[in-house]
Each structure stands twice: as structure tokens, then as C-alpha cells.
Amino acid sequence: MGVALAWHGATAETLHVATPATSMVLEATEGRPLKFVYYGDRLADADVAMLEASGAKPVDAYPVYGLTSHRETAMSVTHPDGNMTLDLAVAGVKESEDPDGARVLTVSMADKYYPFGVDINYRTYPDADVIETWAEAVNNGKGTVILREFASGFLPIRRDDVYLTSFYGTWANEGRVSERPLQHGMTVIKNKDGARNSHTAHAEVMFSLDGRPQEHSGRTIGAALCYSGNYRLRIDTGDSDVHEFYAGINEDNSAYRLARGERFVTPPLALTYSDEGKGGVSRNFHRWGRDHRLAHGKDLRKILLNSWEGVYFDINEEGMAQMMHDIADMGGELFVMDDGWFGVKYPRNNDSTSLGDWTVDTTKLPSGIAGLCATAKKNGIRFGIWIEPEMTNTLSELYEAHPEYVIKPSHRDAVQGRGGTQLVLDMANPKVQDLVFHVVDTLMTNYPEIDYIKWDSNAPIMNHGSQYLSADNQSHLVIDFHRGLAKTLDRIRAKYPDVTIQACASGGGRANWGVMPWFDEFWVSDNTDAVQRVYMQWGTSHFFPAIAMASHISASPNHQTHRIISLKYRTDVAMSGRLGMEIQPKDMTAEEKDQTRRAIADYKKIRPVVQQGDLYRLLSPYDGKGAASLMYVSPDKNEAVYYWWRLNNDINPQLPRVPMAGLDPDATYTVHELNRIDNEPLPFEGKSFTGRYLMANGLEMPETHKVDYHKLNDYSSRVLQLIKK
Ligand code: DGJ
């Protein structure tokens, strides 16, 4: 189902932008602004026709500044003659279809006086309940127009008991959930890091229209700004009947000078609606993402060992070979060599040198990358490598040769980042784009066996100044950085469509749908503590599917929190995302390796359900009930996997029994515990229950594990596989 369009030319027409289960209705009248009428459940044509009769009050679909200026606006400009007003009216509507069946409805609006236009676009897919909307501003005049505000989209949300779900955090504590009623005043969620955009806040929000957010019920809207750079989401609750929601690039210090003939395309704002609560919104986003946005969203991911927490910068051939052997021996499929492998004049032994010098350090790795690829092959696994190509250090051959490539203001020394020497390369500069492309191209040409790239980014844009952009266009810096990044990634993907690429940015700094067309996954956080991961992964799962969330078993005590957590628990948390390891296997005992080997074998059985299934969040860690639980159900409901993690170690804590969700009520499922460590099976091991019973009652999770006394510890978790009989 795409766009059902009723446009016959010059008169008022109703535009019905439809997905299988949702409708957006707009009104386009030539000579008047485009109006928004409705967004929600899918409407029958008869109901579309009756919307106005039902009392719906159309509002501007893309409010602009200047003539009715008392509200927030989506766009404001200064024309070449200094006039600061816009007066847009519909000039035409057209529809097009992409080769993959996606349909785009474009409503063109033109200013009534100035040669300036804005196209508002709506993209739908036949099989996804997401509408992507974005705006394109066109300067058809002779002079330069200054864009001061340029939102991707606007959505009015009828006032009622509306709650906002948003995400906050910081480095090593990303993706925390915040839920609050929308009250009078303005809520702003924003990012100004410059390079990365999801440590401190996320560009995704949900609106629960029926009061306090629920997982399985309640009308809920989800919105995600798909962009790699600075963003600003605004919700203004003023004197009107609606909460006014605007989302787009953050215009702070980024006014854009639109040259004659130039078109400014904003990033898409993806919207969904579900009456199945937050869970319904998440599932809509996950499906759309896997099917239409995430690189290789339909392919299962390999189980990997990443070298970072195992050896940090201490890279050497013997160590890499040992890690490859160990991960292969435990059933893993890929080894990724992290930071520390490069630099000739300045060997990368810590974080203060060498970024930009992507030549292998043969004192550490005498047989080079080729040798590592050969060792991986010998072990029957694939090889991956870490790079941070948008960056350099002042201590590097690249910086010595090209100081003009870094972002820095004129007449001032640049403030330096990580390691006291890190600087950001000016991706606005085509020569830098070329350089970054060649980092990947050289690696992939020389070592076509490379299967995976971990693409890191560990510094914000702190110094406002481009040595490439003209004096007039300095305010374009951050926008042009991200355009340059996009161009470079397009080029890389055109030549290397198959390589897996992880978006890492000091942990979870690039968890945004804007980068996902080029990346297969992202690193959720530099914090691998399993308990804290339950909270972070919970938040992140609101918009991102498990297949995209890299989740690794790490050491105990944990390197970030120093918490001592059982291997069983660490594994059970990692198994709920894209499973990997971030550990020195040679420090594991034979028993721990055995346990991990069994867990990896178990994960392989459930990998399709975790990575392609529908997520049902069951018991929130944020509810303070002492445990958290979620499950994945295969789209045909034949299989499911259930996770349960305790969150405190109180004795006799009176934990709730957690009803399941998403199963076929009439089917019977047999339960089997995975990654089992108990001496005795659970009472329901191998037993069968109807989906109806499981969804009404769940199963009792014992508070602790039945293990030998010396193995008792304060963590307890369960993973259950459910297979339809
Ligand atoms: C930050 C990343 O998040 C880590 O996983 C690791 O790759 C380091 N950078 C390496 O410097």
C-alpha cells in the first residue's frame, strides 16, 4: 500500500498518505499553504472524506516564519533584499515510485512573491508502517538566501494526556529512558557534538497519546530524525489544541547560505503510529529499519571477538593469533583487531598519536595484515579491523604533511581532544573526503579478505572553523562535514557493498538511523557492564533492532564499573543483542571457555529469532521491580526466546511473575532453557504450554541458580527458547 492520491489540478484535494496500518491526511489547495489534517490509524476512504465534518481543524503542515509569527516555525529565511518573511502556497503535487516499491509524494510550495520554493516529501513502503518526510528548499532567484531554520518536518499532536518518551545519557551510560507528561512550555532535545550525536540525547522520541506510556497498548507515535549530525527536536505546548513537534538539523551556528539555483535537502524524519503502545512503535521501526534502512538488515550477523578490552593498545602478532584461535575454538566466526595496529614514524601505542597514518606497524605485526588474514583463514574465521578515518593527531605524519586538513578556526590554535592531540579532519573538504575513501579503499584493495570494519569516531567538533570553506560559508561547517561524510560513505558502499561496517563513536555516539544505510550495526556503549547494559540496551531497543546492537561479553571485574558479575549473566545479557566478545580469552578458565562454547552454540540456534524477530519488552528495569525481561518472537510465531535478568541481590525479593507477549494464543510451545548452568533442570524444562497461558501467566523464574555452593553468586538470569509444537 502506498500513497492513495486524489489530486486533480487546481482545486482543493485531499492527499491520503497511507501505509498498511496508518494514514496521514493532508489537504493541498493551489495558492494556499499545505494543510495537515490527520495522522493515526489507517482510515477507510469514507472516513477520510468525513474528517472535516468530524471537526478536524487543518493546520499548516510546514509552518514558516514571517506573517503569522507568534508560533514556532519549521522554516525561516532571509531573502537577498533583507526581507525575513515566507509566504508559501501549494504549486503542484507529484508522485513517483522507486525501484524497490517505495512511493514518494511531493507537494511543491512556492513563495507568493520571491523565487523560492519548498518541496515537502512523504515516502512510504508497501510493507512498512513508517512514513518518511523531509523538506527541500530551492533558491530559484539570483541572490543568496540565508536559511535560518530548516526543519525536516512538523507534526501536530492533539492535546490530551500526552506523555513523551525520550532518551538521555552520556559516554558509557547511553540510551537511558525518560518518560514524562508534556506540559506547557517548550521541550527541546538536541545535539551539538558536531561529529557524533547519540551520547547525551537521542534524535528519537515517542508520544503516548493515552496517558502513561504502556508497552502493549495505547495509541503511540514514534519519530526518528535520521541524521548523523547536530539535531534539534522541539515540542511546543502553547495556547493551541496541539503539541507542536518540529524535528530537523540543529540550526545553531549553522545558518545556511543557499546560493542561486541551489537545493537544500533536509534529512528524513521517520514517523510511525501504533495502537499497540511503545512496543508496537518499536516493532514498526525495527521492521522498517531491517527491511529498508539498515545495511544488510536481512542477513544474520557473525559472532565475533573484538580485541579492545582484551589487549587495548598491546597489539602483536602472537597475541592476535592466540585470540583468533580462542574465538574460533569457542565457536565464534570473526575476529576484529581494534586500535593500536598502525603508525610507522609514530607507532600507535596510546591514544595520543598516529590517527591518519593507516600503515601497519610491522614491529608489532611483522607479517602485516596479510599474515593476520591468513591466520584467521587457518582458524576458519573471518578477519576485521578498526579505523578512525575522520580524525588525526598532531603527532602524525598526516598532520605534518597536511595541517590544512584539520578543522580549526583562523588565527587560533585548535583545542585538542582525546590523548591531548586529537583533531577532527575537515570532511567538508573534497580532498579529505578522498583521503578517507582511500583509507578504506587501500585496506580493501590490499586485503580483500577483510570482512568487517569497525569505524570509530572519538572527538567532537570543538573548533568552529573550516580551512576549506570560504569566509562567508563558515557557518556551513557542521552540515558540510556530514555531507562530506555521507558522500564518502556512499562511495565506499558503492565499491564495497558487502563488507560489514560497525558505527562506533566513543561507544554509542552513532546510534542513529541517519548512518544506518552505510552501517550494519553500532557499538551500544563503551560500558560493557552487563547490569548497566540491561538499562542502556532497553532504552536503545525502543528504536533499534537487536541485529544492530553490538553487545559483547566482557571481563569480570568489569573494566568500566569494576563490578564482579557472573559469566552466565554477562553472557545472557550479550545474547539479547548481536552477540560478541570483548575479553582476553587466555584469562578465561577452561570451564569458562566451555560454558561460553555452549552459549555460543545456543545463540546460533536463536540467532534468527533475536536478529529478525519481533521484540516484546515485558518488565522494564526502570520500573524498579528487581528484574527485567523481554522476548523476541519470530514473525511466523513458531519460535520465541525469552530473557529474564535479576537486577538486585536482595534475599527474598518478591519478584513479579512476568507474562509473555507476542505468541500465538492457540499454539502450544515447548520450553527449553539455554545457557543453562543449574545442576537440575527448571520444572518446566521440556514441558509445553499454550501461548494463551504463557501470555496470561508467564513462568515462575527461580530467584537464584541451583549450582554447587562455591559457584553461588549474586546474579541470576534465564534464557528460554520456546518452540511451537
Ligand atoms: C572507542 C571505542 O568505543 C572503543 O571500543 C575502542 O575502539 C576505542 N575507541 C579504541 O581507541
Euclidean distance between CA atoms 359 and 354, whole angstroms: 10
381 and 255 co-located in one domain: no
CATH of the domain at 662: 2.60.40.1180
Half-sphere exposure of residue 153: CA atoms within 13 angstroms, side-chain side:
20
Q: Among candidates 685, 661, 671, 687, which has minimal Cα distance to 722? A: 671
What pLDDT score was predicted for residue 8? 37
240 and 389 co-located in one domain: no
pLDDT at residue 640 above 60?
yes
Query: Whose CA is closest to atom 6 on ligand 1?
Result: 308
Examine residue 134 and state whether it is found in any structural domain, yes or no: yes
Examine residue 587 and state whether it is found in any structural domain, yes or no: no
What pLDDT score was predicted for residue 6? 44
What pLDDT score was predicted for residue 11? 56
Amino acid present at 613:
G
Residue range 120-144, pLDDT digits in tens: 999 999 999 999 999 999 999 999 9
362 and 270 co-located in one domain: no
pLDDT at residue 540 above 80?
yes
Residue range 444-464, pLDDT digits in tens: 999 999 999 999 999 999 999
Answer whether 154's CB lies under 8 Å from 246's CB: yes
- Strand ranges inside 547-626, DSSP E: 549-554, 578-582, 614-619
Strands 256-258 and 242-249: unpaired
Cis-peptide, bond into residue 33, ω within 30° of zero: no
What pLDDT score was predicted for residue 276? 98
397 and 491 co-located in one domain: yes
What pLDDT score was predicted for residue 308? 98
Last residue of a domain, one of 481, 496, 523: 523
**Cα angle 182-185-542, degrees, rounded to a multiple of 5:** 35
- Residue among 198, 311, 523 whose CB has most ligand 1 atoms within 8 A, to mutate: 523
Whole-structure pTM value: 0.97
| Range with the poorest average pLDDT among 52-56, 285-289, 360-364, 601-605 | 52-56
Q: Work out the percent of the chain whose per-residue pLDDT is above 70.
A: 98
Helix H segments across 426-566? 430-446, 477-495, 530-540
Expressed in angstroms and rounded, the spacing between residue 509 Cα and the centre of ligand 1 is 11
Examine residue 570 and state whether it is found in any structural domain, yes or no: no
- Residue among 308, 312, 391 whose CB has most ligand 1 atoms within 8 A, to mutate: 308
Confidence band for 7, pLDDT divided at 50, 70 and 90: very low
> What does each C-alpha distance from 595 to 56, 372, 576, 577 come to in angstroms?
60, 27, 17, 19
Euclidean distance between CA atoms 585 and 274, whole angstroms: 44
Q: Work out the percent of the chain whose per-residue pLDDT is above 90.
A: 96
Q: Among candidates 255, 492, 479, 299, which has minimal Cα distance to 389? A: 492
Answer whether 499's CB lies under 8 Å from 444's CB: yes
Expressed in angstroms and rounded, the spacing between residue 297 Cα and the centre of ligand 1 is 24
pLDDT at residue 556 above 70?
yes
What pLDDT score was predicted for residue 9? 41
pLDDT at residue 70 above 90?
no
- What does the pLDDT average to over 619-637? 98
Euclidean distance between CA atoms 142 and 114, whole angstroms: 11
> What does each C-alpha distance from 310 to 129, 314, 321, 616, 664 come to in angstroms?
42, 9, 13, 33, 43
Expressed in angstroms and rounded, the spacing between residue 715 Cα and the centre of ligand 1 is 28
104 and 155 co-located in one domain: yes
pLDDT at residue 190 above 80?
yes
Examine residue 424 and state whether it is found in any structural domain, yes or no: yes
Answer whether 527's CB lies under 8 Å from 560's CB: yes
**Cα angle 71-72-75, degrees, rounded to a multiple of 5:** 120
What pLDDT score was predicted for residue 69? 66
What pLDDT score was predicted for residue 650? 87
Annotation says 456 is catalytic: yes
Residue 533: other Cβ atoms inside 10 A? 26
* Residues spanned by the domain of 394: 304-523
Annotation says 299 is catalytic: no
139 and 199 co-located in one domain: yes
232 and 320 co-located in one domain: no
Examine residue 641 and state whether it is found in any structural domain, yes or no: yes
Examine residue 662 and state whether it is found in any structural domain, yes or no: yes
Examine residue 604 and state whether it is found in any structural domain, yes or no: no
Residue range 73-95, pLDDT digits in tens: 999 999 999 999 999 999 999 99
440 and 349 co-located in one domain: yes
pLDDT at residue 3 above 70?
no
Answer whether 200's CB lies under 8 Å from 169's CB: yes
70 and 196 co-located in one domain: yes
179 and 92 co-located in one domain: yes
Q: Identify the residue whose cell numbers are 512498512.
A: 128
**Residue 449: all three cell numbers together:** 579478505
Query: Whose CA is closest to atom 10 on ligand 1?
Result: 339
Q: Return all residues near 595 (Cβ < 8 A) that are at least 6 apart.
A: 567, 568, 571, 675, 677
Residue range 285-320, pLDDT digits in tens: 999 999 999 999 999 999 999 999 999 999 999 999
Residue range 479-517, pLDDT digits in tens: 999 999 999 999 999 999 999 999 999 999 999 999 999
Examine residue 168 and state whether it is found in any structural domain, yes or no: yes
Confidence band for 5, pLDDT divided at 50, 70 and 90: very low
**Residue 5: all three cell numbers together:** 492520491
Ligand 1 atom closest to residue 506's alpha carbon, by position in its atom list: 3
What pLDDT score was predicted for residue 719? 98
516 and 629 co-located in one domain: no
Please tell me the total count of domains within the chain: 3
Nearest 10 degrees: Cα torsion 554, 556, 562, 563: 100
Residue range 251-285, pLDDT digits in tens: 999 999 999 999 999 999 999 999 999 999 999 99
CATH of the domain at 192: 2.70.98.60
Task: Provide residues with CB under 6 Å of ligand 1.
Answer: 308, 338-339, 351, 386, 456, 458, 504, 506-507, 523, 526
Residue range 413-422, pLDDT digits in tens: 999 999 999 9
683 and 627 co-located in one domain: yes
CATH of the domain at 491: 3.20.20.70
Last residue of a domain, one of 495, 523, 551: 523
- How high does pLDDT run on average in the chain? 97
Last residue of a domain, one of 493, 523, 553: 523
Answer whether 387's CB lies under 8 Å from 503's CB: no
